[in-house]
Chain A
Amino acid sequence: MPVPEYPSGTVRALLNTAHVSEATRAALQARLDAPATYAPQLLAPETYALLEAVAARLFPQPDRADEPIPLAPAVDQRLAEGRADGWRYDALPPDREAYRLGLGGIQEIAQAMFQADFIGLKAVQQDAVLRTLADGHPPGATWATLDAGRFFEELLAELTETYYAHPLAQEEIGYVGMADLPAWTKIGLNEKEDREVAMGE
């Protein structure tokens, strides 16, 4: 089926209605209001810049060129606070080490493939680097000890969950589940409440 397009502004319009609980509104508004600039707390500035560049290819946002949904800050914040999500692949080292090693390893792939830093590459070259990483057998000394497939999976999953937790990403997919008060009564096939967004033309 064709890719559905949903009108923008829908979630933001619902946030201040009685359909959204206080706790829900607070969580979503905080993400909307996050400052555009972020100073990394844990990763070194060049490592953080690399993470941003990688995130920009895993989630290209040409439609939000001026204000992309920020993805790297959530990773740096989590690593700085030492938070975990309850588990880790035994094949990978602790998260801080895995990110430092893995991002360094991405530089190694870029050097091996294009003899240049990842950040300096064209988008299509950066994608080629990431595809080589995702395929699980990239060049570079790092990947002799770090499981490339698992590292890529963890990196992609964290960025993905950060992206789709953002109200603008939720608008993009036509999701308005946060506006669940007082109840959903139309829950069957092809049923929707007035406050649910219809696909655009």
Chain B
Amino acid sequence: MPDEEVLEEGVLNPVKPEIQDPLLRALLADEPAATAPVAADTPQEKPQAIAPEADAVDCVVIGLGAGGAPLLARLAMAGLKVVALEAGPWHNPEKDFATDEKAQDFLFWNDERLAAGHDPLAMGKNNSGTGVGGSTLHYTAYTPRPLPDDLHLQRDFGKGEDWPLSYEELEPYYEEIEQFLGISGPTPYPWGPARRKGYPLAPLPLNSAAQLMVRGAEKLGIRTSPAANAALSARYYQEGIGWREACTNRGFCQAGCSNGAKASMDVTFIPLAVKHGADIRPNSFVTEIERDARGHITGVVYTQNGERKRQRCRHLFLCGGSVETPRLLLLNELALTSGQVGRNLMAHPGLQVWGTFADEVRPNKGIPGGLISQDTHRPQDADFAGGYLLQSIGVMPVTFAGQVARGRKLWGQPLRDYMRQYNHIAGINILGDCLPHADNFMELAEEKDARGLPKPRLHFTAQENEQRMNAHAEKIMRGIWEAAGATDIWAFQRYAHVIGTARMGRSGDDAVVDAKGRAFDVPNLYISDNSTFPSALSVNPALTIMALSLRTADKFLEQQQRRDA
């Protein structure tokens, strides 16, 4: 970004929340829309014959992570009466969040899920959050955009699925979110198409692992760049929210940010939603989704602090993530005609390579994912479909120790000796695409949880494509670490985000929702989270979840506008 925009005291962000959709913009400005089409094309959305009950709200949103919070803000800003039900509590990070991994366990979705298949997926702190802000409370804030061909694996490789929408349709939303969240990143960005706007803030400083990866990659001719991270490299002002402070390099993103520098939903879209009248109800666990005789949703039943409650609504937005969203659909026998709910479960290959350096690393400091390379997005010598990104990684001690125990199977004195090298350890990992496969799915188990509900069981087995990608990536990462001077190099097999259990598509024959996020089976049900991804993408999902969330809100509001016209 141009230097003159960086002020001594921080950055005053002049960008207003940009509304991409002209109809919504008109709505917000309270002006008549220029081109409101007639309602004829949307017969399901005709005004309901029965007057809604007095306590019905326009929209209920279930889940306040990256899928629920952006659309909640958008709907509230459009003047709709919205209620958000979040299973977890509403925290005060500044006061409550400790710089201690164990003490922060409350951030994770700790209800037990059963991990089956040849490559059982670690859940909990690996990928699942709870609380107002959802998994963004513990995401690493790594926010690269997908590259346009990520959405066209089928077209380019004859494998996987194409998205029913293009990168160009998502691009304005990526730009809006990057500006709104205050993403720190390189301008220009070295990979992908030219961008209309650069990142609003300069990249965060490179920590030791990032510097080591630069050293190794340079020797191998692999291009690297400071990564895009949704954490502030300078103070940042956002209309409707106020000032957020710069990142203090705590390196504890995955255990919760205590100063609001990381753009989790609780310090960005949620305060914006609250300012515009959204009603946030924490500790509210939804169990039932009620319908009328036509199959339209009329409300939800939830438990809040031990009390069973009902909230009627005209529209429901289900944003519970790739496990709880299909679980709610299966429990309620809702939107199941495509047969795809729970199917197409994907998980990002997240292979890590660790090494010991003579230099002092102190891997707990700095933004964990400081560096990126997307040179491996479509490797020339690939024997697999899709590709992956490379990322330097910092790590907190307890997380690292647990991985050493599981991955290296060290115990006794050798484990204690190896862990004494903690301050000299650095890692790299990949984030790779994953193809859907019939063997990989989520189902309801017989075994019940503390609430008396069936536990989810996730079947995952890495198939040939993922195995080949991992082998390719391990060779490259070992090469980078050797070139950087590492000794005692070892690889840890890991799979990250769970994706794709209620996929979007062009037809209700093989997809649960359409490109707007609207369920084919139920006209007043929308799904907004990573369960709708038709393919996994070769980048971290949070930015795209948020982009789809805003797009779903805009498409929904457009439809409402048409109906009212």
Contact = CB atoms under 8 A, between A and B. Distances in A.
Interface of A: 1, 3-6, 20-24, 26-28, 57-60, 82-91, 94, 127, 130, 134, 153, 156-157, 160-161, 163-165, 170, 172-175, 177-178, 180, 182-185, 187-192, 196, 199
Given A85-B124, A178-B99, A183-B249, A192 B360 contact: yes
Contacts of A94: 447
B248 interface: yes
B366 A184 contact: yes
A181 to B, nearest CB: 8
Contacts of B424: 1, 4
B110 A4 contact: no
Given A21-B99, A173-B397, A184-B366, A189 B411 contact: no
Contact of B113 (A86, A189, A191): A86
Interface string B96-131: 111111110100111111111000111111101000
A165 B401 CA distance: 10
Given A4-B423, A192-B360, A84 B248 contact: no
B250 A173 contact: no
B494 to A, nearest CB: 13
Given A57-B412, A184-B365, A189-B212, A174 B99 contact: no
A174 B422 contact: yes
Interface string B404-415: 111001011101
Contact of B360 (A130, A178, A190): A190
Contacts of B143: none
B102 A4 contact: no
B374 interface: no
Contacts of B211: 188-189
A90 B111 CA distance: 14
Contact of A175 (B122, B124, B125, B422): B422
A184 B251 contact: yes
A185 B401 CA distance: 25
Contacts of A190: 359-360
21 contacts: A1-B421, A4-B423, A23-B95, A23-B100, A27-B103, A84-B112, A86-B128, A89-B115, A90-B116, A153-B409, A157-B402, A157-B406, A160-B415, A165-B101, A165-B102, A170-B397, A173-B420, A177-B250, A185-B249, A187-B249, A189-B212
B205 interface: yes
B124 A184 contact: no
A157 B491 CA distance: 17
B206 interface: yes
A118 B450 CA distance: 35
Most buried by A among B95, B364, B417: B364
B426 to A, nearest CB: 9
A164 B398 contact: yes
Given A1-B487, A3-B417, A170-B397, A175 B423 contact: yes
Contact of A28 (B100, B111, B250, B402): B100
A192 B249 contact: no
Given A57-B412, A84-B112, A156-B406, 4 more contacts: A23-B95, A87-B124, A157-B402, A163-B401
Contacts of A163: 401
Given A134-B409, A164-B398, A187 B205 contact: yes
Interface string B313-339: 000000000000000000000000000
B114 to A, nearest CB: 4
Nearest to B403: A157
Nearest to A163: B401
Contacts of B115: 87-90
A182 B113 contact: no
B416 interface: yes
Contact of B366 (A87, A127, A164, A187): A187
A178 B248 contact: no
A184 to B, nearest CB: 4
Nearest to A165: B102
B515 interface: no
Contacts of A183: 248-250
B420 A182 contact: no
